[in-house]
């Protein structure tokens, strides 16, 4: 399948449920799936010695909309390199990130799919508070953490979990820019001892019915990650 076919597969998964995303990743050998509902995650330990952790969240902002209001069936379409849902929000935040991680899964890096990010990082909080073995694994045995969950084209965000040295490294390696340090996402909870960064995956107008994704922007980050994360010696960046 083409990369864009995988992207469309994830974007067409039901917005009101994370089950299809989790069930797909659960088929990968070595997948550890724990919890239920919003307190849920799936972890796959990478095979590389020099590895990073790739993170995305399975839930969408539209979970609550579909569960609390009369909703219309998704009608996903592509036109001139843009993907939209004619019947409302697209859910590219963060199904676009999940699709990207699926396409990066053979690189030997670890994978973490969380749930409940849109409700206040519920899944990542549950992981850190109730699953110390996985919390230690992701913080002690990875060079850094990369979340694929940022709007726009070429942004990166470290929030409160990046050192000056790490920010310079990300900027120089990716060519992306950090607009500010505001807000948060799962890495703010997950990064206890190691630095983390969130990268753009090409969606715009998230959390609105005008949400759309630019395929070339999504492909740009995918291809950049292939180049970057294929390096044999990725440096380690401790947070403290």
| pLDDT digits 0-9 by tens, 23-44 | 999 999 999 999 999 999 999 9
As a whole number of angstroms, the distance between CA 204 and CA 206 comes to 5
- 47-77 pLDDT, tens per residue? 999 999 999 999 999 887 666 766 788 999 9
Query: What sign has the CA pseudo-torsion 117, 122, 123, 127?
Result: positive
Predicted confidence (pLDDT) per residue in 108-148, tens digit: 999 999 999 999 999 999 999 999 999 999 999 999 999 99
- Residue 240 per-residue DSSP state: -
Residue 163 has pLDDT above 80, yes or no: yes
pTM over 0.85: yes
What does each C-alpha distance from 24 to 20, 47, 117 come to in angstroms?
Answer: 6, 20, 19
């Amino acid at each position: 399948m083409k990369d864009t076919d995988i992207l469309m597969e994830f974007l067409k998964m039901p917005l009101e449920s994370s089950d299809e995303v989790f069930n797909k990743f659960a088929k990968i050998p070595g997948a550890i799936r724990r919890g239920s509902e919003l307190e849920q995650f799936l972890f796959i330990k990478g095979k590389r010695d020099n590895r990073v952790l790739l993170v995305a969240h399975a839930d969408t902002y539209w979970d609550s909309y579909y569960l609390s209001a009369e909703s219309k069936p998704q009608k996903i379409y592509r036109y001139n390199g843009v993907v939209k849902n004619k019947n409302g929000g697209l859910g590219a935040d963060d199904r676009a990130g999940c699709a990207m991680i699926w396409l990066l899964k053979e690189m030997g890096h670890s994978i973490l799919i969380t749930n409940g990010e849109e409700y206040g990082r519920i899944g990542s909080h549950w992981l850190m508070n109730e699953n110390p073995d996985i919390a230690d694994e992701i913080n002690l045995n990875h060079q850094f953490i990369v979340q694929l969950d940022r709007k726009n084209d070429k942004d990166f965000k470290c929030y409160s979990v990046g050192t000056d040295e790490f920010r310079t490294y990300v900027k120089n390696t990716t060519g992306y820019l950090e607009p500010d340090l505001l807000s948060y996402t799962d890495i703010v909870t997950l990064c206890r001892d190691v630095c983390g960064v969130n990268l753009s995956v090409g969606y715009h107008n998230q959390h609105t019915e005008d949400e759309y994704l630019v395929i070339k922007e999504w492909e740009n980050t995918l291809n950049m990650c292939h180049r970057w994360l294929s390096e044999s010696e990725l440096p380690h960046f401790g947070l403290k």
